[in-house]
Structure 1
């Protein structure tokens, strides 16, 4: 892959939900956000069983995640175009290093899941939540409560997507699912969503970063009949309508 534009094309294939949401964000922040989404996909795919032909089980994932940790800590040369661009973005303070390392910690926690709802919730706020927090940081948002709201938004999206694909994910393995039943997952997602709606002002710059809430709201209101299937036109149109509305709104934080 060459350059940020190629990463954008890659993310639209690998993570179409978040890519669609990010496409409504302003430049130049959007370029760094697609870079961040590519990184998130890379460390998430490290958890897929059988990714390595020579090293099986969780150890393969630990090794891949540790490589990224070493790169971020400066103890290993990047040796990867994505890593080089990510380090440049961090050095330019496009998003906080702590937020990015939280993404790694969330993926590592999936490999040693403690199996209780509170640990799962913390993982979600650092993982999919941390990803949305970093989107806010890339947009220049610094208000702590607003960033917490974006983290809750990301966690709500993650919970909704997990609920949507619940039966498929249970069979696939390799990921730390909600330690309970689907109804409990739905309730946890609704709690995240309520927090996001409370802390993110409508018409604000943060609302532009909170478009995944559109999908989480829809996912948390239905069952898992769409498990394993791509998004329908209704979901996409809902995001597009909300995204266009944010473009017409003001940019207050």
Structure 2
């Protein structure tokens, strides 16, 4: 079954524009807010990128930024000046919740079976801009195209992996750093001018998007632990037997 011609299109640009990413949908079970870290996403660590140097979006000398959270920079190799955090750059596609149905999630073994059953083309991410959120985080946003490989995969997972703790999780960004406070409004302006030029250059050079690694996706237990990797098996598109997957999940 080729999802390009299938009727499911649960995720649209209008949905993404209106979606509440600060208070996402995956909260219909008492365990969800405490255990929602598992997700299907794209690993974007430094050693996987031959095109984007995410370090160009950092302010490691703190010229513009006065402070960050204790985790420091989460991208471009991590941060050895704070809590010595590893590089955990990744873009979430679908959050799955806890490792069991009773707590509102899905069994990790079931998720692995589902993902191994999906054939997809390489996932291309198109840089859009750096964003400063209401929760004082800096993130690199990506364009959302529902007909792209990642858009089709997101729409598929939103149906097949629907569960009380599941949600869309805003897959089209990479969190750069949290707890950001700028030195002044002026330095904030200068910072965004600098990173804005970087992203504009990427958009010009990689108009079709960029790959991380082989263009596959990963299943994360949390942002620091990758359980499984799934490589592309198609030149483009996304294919899966959705009725069979739904039946398999229902019988588990």
Q: Quick check: which has more Rg, 1 or 2?
A: 2
TM-score, length basis structure 1: 0.30
Would you tell me which structure has more strand in proportion to its own residues? 2
Larger relative contact order, structure 1 or 2 (CA cutoff 8 Å, min sep 6): 2
TM-score, length basis structure 2: 0.30
